[in-house]
Amino acid sequence: MNHVTHNFSAGPARLPPAVLERLSAALAPQEQPSIVEASHRGQRFMAVAEELHERVRRCAGIDEEHAVLLLHGGASLQFVQLPLNLAANRPAAFLITGHWGKKALEAARTIGKAVVAGSSEADGFTRLAEVEQIPHNCAYLHYTGNESIHGVQFDRPPQADVPLVADMSSEFLSRPYPYSDVDVAYAGAQKNLGIAGLTVVLMRRDLLERIPDELSPYLDYRSWADNLSLFNTPAVLAWVAALEMLRWMEDQGGLEAIGERNQKRAARLYAAIDATGFWHNPVAAQCRSVMNIPFWPTDERLTARFLAEAEQNGLIGLKGHRSAGGLRASLYNAQTCDAVNTLIAFMQHFEERYG
C-alpha cells in the first residue's frame, strides 16, 4: 500500500505543508496566547485583519471602487443575502450551468422575482449557457464561474448590460481573473484560500447605495464594509489561514504562476482521460473546468472498484458528487503535481487490469 496520501476532495481542500506549519505555530506559540485566544479588537488581530484585506485586494487586482468583505455563512448565505441587499423590488437573472447555479436561483426565488437568463441543463450541463433574455430593470445577472460538480467553467465573465454577480467559490484566486470587471464576486475560502468558516465578497461600492434601509444590520453589506468586516467576532482561525495562504501564493509567484501550474495539471489529467476509450468526460473541451474534473469508466460498474482500490493506494476524495455519481478529481491551488501524476499512473494501471 502507498503510505503517501493524496487528497482530491472537492472541499474542504488540501492545505500546503508550509501553511499547516504556520497555523500550528499560530495555535501553539511559545511565549504568548495563541491567535485564536487574542481579542479580535486588539492590536494583534487588527494587524491580521488589515493585512488580509489588503492582500485579498492586491491578489484580486481591485482598487478602492470595490469593497472587500470577509463574512460568515458560505456561498449558501450569499444566495439569500445578495437578493435581500441588491434586488429589492427588482428581478434578478441567472445563467444556469450546473447544480450551484440552480441552488442560487432557488434561494433567490424565496426572496423575490428571479428568472433564468439562459441554461445548459437540456445539454446535461456539458457546456456553458448563453445569455438569452434579461428582464427589464434587472437587478443583476448571476453566474457560477466554475461548477464544481459538473466540471464546467467560464474562461471570462459573460457579457451583459447589467451588473454581474459571480459565484467564484471553487475557483477564487486560482488564476488571473478580471475581478474589476465583475460587480460582485463571492467565494467560500475552503477550496483555494484556506479553511471553512470564511466567505470573501468583492463588491462595487456604488451597489451599496441600493441596499434598503430596513434590512437587518447583520444582513446589510454596509455593516461589514464600514467596520473592516468586524461587525461581530470573525472566524479567527479561518482569517489567519487565508492570510497564510495568500502569503504562500505570493511565495509561489502569484496568480500568474499558480494559474499556469493549475492549467498544466488539469491538461495532463484530461489527456489521460481522453487517451483511450476506457474513461470519459462529457464536457465540451472549451468549457472544461481546471479545478474540478469529473470522469467515469466507460463501464460504470467499475466505479466502486476504482474508488476502493484508489483509497488502498492513498488516493482519496475521488468519489463524484452524490447528484452526479462517477469520479471527480479536484485540483485546487494546493494540489501537487506529484498527486496528479500518481493518479494518472494508477488510472493507467487500473485500465491495464480491467480494460
pLDDT tens per residue across span 140-151 = 999 999 999 999
Q: How confident is the model at residue 1 (pLDDT cuts 50, 70, 90)?
A: very low
Q: Are residues 345 and 198 in the same domain?
A: no
Structural domain contains residue 213: yes
Taking only the tens place, the pLDDT of each residue in 255-301 is 999 999 999 999 999 999 999 999 999 999 999 999 999 999 999 99
The catalytically annotated residue of 100, 239, 279, 296 is 100
The catalytically annotated residue of 103, 155, 161, 191 is 191
Q: Are residues 146 and 294 in the same domain?
A: no
pTM, two decimal places: 0.96
Q: Which of 68, 59, 56, 52 is nearest to 224 (CA)?
A: 68
| CATH for 139 | 3.40.640.10
Determine what percent of the chain falls in helix, strand and coil, rounding each to the nearest 5: 40, 15, 40
Taking only the tens place, the pLDDT of each residue in 303-322 is 999 999 999 999 999 999 98
Alpha-carbon distance 296 to 294, whole Å? 7
Structural domain contains residue 4: no
The catalytically annotated residue of 63, 103, 113, 167 is 167
C-alpha cell at position 304: 466502486
The residues, ordered by sequence, that sit 6+ positions from 205 with a Cβ below 8 Å of its Cβ are 64, 65, 66, 67, 225
Contact by Cβ (8 Å): 82, 142: yes
Q: Are residues 245 and 304 in the same domain?
A: no
- 136: domain range? 18-251
Alpha-carbon distance 339 to 348, whole Å? 14
Place of cell 447589467: 162
Q: Assess whether 224 carries a catalytic annotation.
A: no
Q: Are residues 67 and 149 in the same domain?
A: yes
Q: Assess whether 191 carries a catalytic annotation.
A: yes
Taking only the tens place, the pLDDT of each residue in 240-267 is 999 999 999 999 999 999 999 999 999 9
Q: Assess whether 63 carries a catalytic annotation.
A: no
| CATH for 308 | 3.90.1150.10
Amino acid (one-letter) located at 50: E
* Overall domain count for the chain: 2
Domain end call among 251, 271, 287: 251
Q: Are residues 177 and 315 in the same domain?
A: no
